[in-house]
Chain A
Amino acid sequence: MGLLFEQVLNGVQLGVMLFLLAAGLTLIFGIMGIINLAHGSLYMAGAYAVAFFTLQTGSFWLSIPIALVIVAVLGVLIEYVVIRRLYARDHLDQVLATFGLILFFNQFATVIFGRQPLLLAPPPILSGHVTLFAGIPYPVYRLMIIVVGMIMAIGLYLLITRTRLGMLVRAGATHREMVRALGVDIRMLYTIVFALGAVLAGFAGAMVGPLSGVQVGMGEQILILTFVVVVIGGVGSIRGAFYGALIVGVVDTLLRAFLPNLLRTVMVGPEADALAGGLSSMGVYVLMAAVLALKPKGLFPAHG
């Protein structure tokens, strides 16, 4: 029972990270109509920035705001140079252009940091365990991620429900309607939204470093999982991103945690583990297929 609870918490922690990524992705898509494959690169940038500055300055706390600033600047740069030209283009062009960005950023990171993963320890205050109810020890760091992530979720919720920007997101407004309704410099708005999405992604990346190390390609792995979240939750829907992320996070984590043992009862050791790894990776995709069979537009589609 304790193990189950612990794994559920791990799933929530993964879900919270996925939410930060999915929310950014869906926000960018909902407001600007852009599908951005380089979103994972921003996640990776956040992770590398934190790793780099922590190793340089010795302070994890200092490196987080630095990383966020870097990612925000990177986001603005990307928006200005590439994304801006894609607003009028079809999805194929957007996919390919941002795919090109991925190739570039991955290689850029390899050139600077090499192919070996960077390992990072959490800061002393956040390392170690805390005892939850029923005497279950749980890593402080992971708990912190859950708490911070939930705070961000609440923040986003307030943004969506209490601001004009959020109202337009909920209405699933098109670009033209937004220009009329907001009466604001639309280019500035797009840049800000993109930077916001970038910061969310970068923040997720910044937090994940001490958990699993930082390496090239980490962005794409989680990006595809993020896609599954967005598809399950409904494109353009923050609420969908939230519930989708939690569902995907928990299902994926539980499968990985318990499937190997299940399989070991019928198969031999290393083969069972490998197969379990594969099948649990497949699990969320099967879930996605099942959701789509019933609701092709996802659980909480933006346009109702």
Chain B
Amino acid sequence: MADAPLHKPASKAWPEWLTGVILLAILAAVPLLAQTMGWGATVSFLTRIIILAIAAASLNLILGYGGLVSFGHAAFYGVGGYVVGILYHHYASDAPLLGLIPGASDMAITVPLAIVINALLAVVLGAISLRTTGVQFIMITLAFAQMLFFLFLSLKVYGGDDGLVVRRRNTLFGHDMRGDVIFYYFVLAIAAAWYAFCARLVNSRFGRVLAGVRQSERRLAAIGIATYRYKLAAYVIAAMGAGLAGALMANYARFVSPDMLHWIQSGDLMIMVILGGVGTLFGPAAGAFVLIALESVLAAWTEHWQLYLGPILVVIVLFWRGGLMGLLKKLTGGRIG
């Protein structure tokens, strides 16, 4: 028995870490290339994509791997952004929040705080939402996200409809992060860490349970696994990832608005996950890249680009399962994807 193979029979697939390292190397080289080639806005453009790729990866955890169709994921993304925005607001105005909590403008404080607050929020919302299944779950997650959207819309003190400007990007442990390139590398590092964490998570014991939840909860109950706690844990972890992305986006754009929590934002995240390939590790990143690139191209072409995105999306869903990763797998003969 000692010689029995532990993994599946050898396939041609590259190990995931190899794909990841290569991708990371390419992305790390971009700022240098951009400088020499004179590609002006590339670094900034990519920063936005990478931040959304973090959010999409977090949704992929519960949606792609766990099969939980959460249509309210943008709520956590938006709350993460608002944590940064609100803390900066109080920092800049020197008046503490609720008279007690001082403002902050360093990512060493604001980002972890955004993550923690989202975790708490997710425990509450998830505990309620996960009591339901199927269409109910979809509708509830959408409803809760909309509820939070209205909440932030109504907080005139934090900009309300107009949103909140973060006049100056947060520092990191006191270091100035305003430069495009240094912020890009910071975001890239965070993304790499998050993806590495997700990779370990989906292959771990917890990840096996999650995959089981997607395929047959009945089977899991029959072997003695009480799925609720695992679904809730996954939901909270996913929310933390979305909050991380939201906090980074608030720093990138130096602006937060209720639109970050809007259901269309949730839809966008879902599109990224599906487009890239549900339940694959790099799918969300590919999906984020293609969707943003597609939006940019279409938007440059016509003001009404959503007119075309809509049907494109319908066609993709109906006819093209497996997404980009599936396509890549076919093209490379199974080596990647």
Contacts and interface: CB of A to CB of B under 8 A. Distances in A.
A282 B147 contact: yes
B100 interface: no
A128 B17 CA distance: 71
B306 A230 contact: no
Interface residues of B, number: 43
Given A111-B307, A235-B135, A296-B131, A274 B147 contact: no
Given A107-B304, A227-B143, A231-B143, A278 B155 contact: yes
Interface string B130-157: 0110111011101110110011111111
Interface in A83-113: 85-86, 91-93, 95-97, 99-108, 110-111
Nearest to B156: A274
Contacts of B144: 285, 289
Contact of A285 (B136, B147, B318): B147
Nearest to A96: B317
Contact of A97 (B143, B154, B313): B313
Interface in A265-281: 270-271, 274-279, 281
B274 interface: yes
A153 B155 CA distance: 38
Contacts of A92: 63, 69, 270, 274, 278
Interface in A170-222: 220
Given A92-B63, A274-B154, A35 B128 contact: no
Contact of A99 (B146, B267, B318): B267
A167 interface: no
Contacts of A228: 139, 143
Nearest to A281: B150
A278 B132 contact: no
B314 interface: yes
B310 A95 contact: no
A104 B69 CA distance: 22
A230 B146 CA distance: 16
A106 B318 contact: no
10 contacts: A108-B307, A224-B143, A227-B142, A228-B143, A235-B135, A270-B156, A277-B154, A278-B150, A281-B154, A298-B136
Interface of B: 63, 69, 71, 128, 131-132, 134-136, 138-140, 142-144, 146-147, 150-157, 160, 263, 267, 270-271, 274, 278, 304, 306-307, 309-314, 317-318
3 cross-chain pairs, A with B, having the tightest CB-CB distances, nearest first: A278-B154, A104-B310, A100-B313
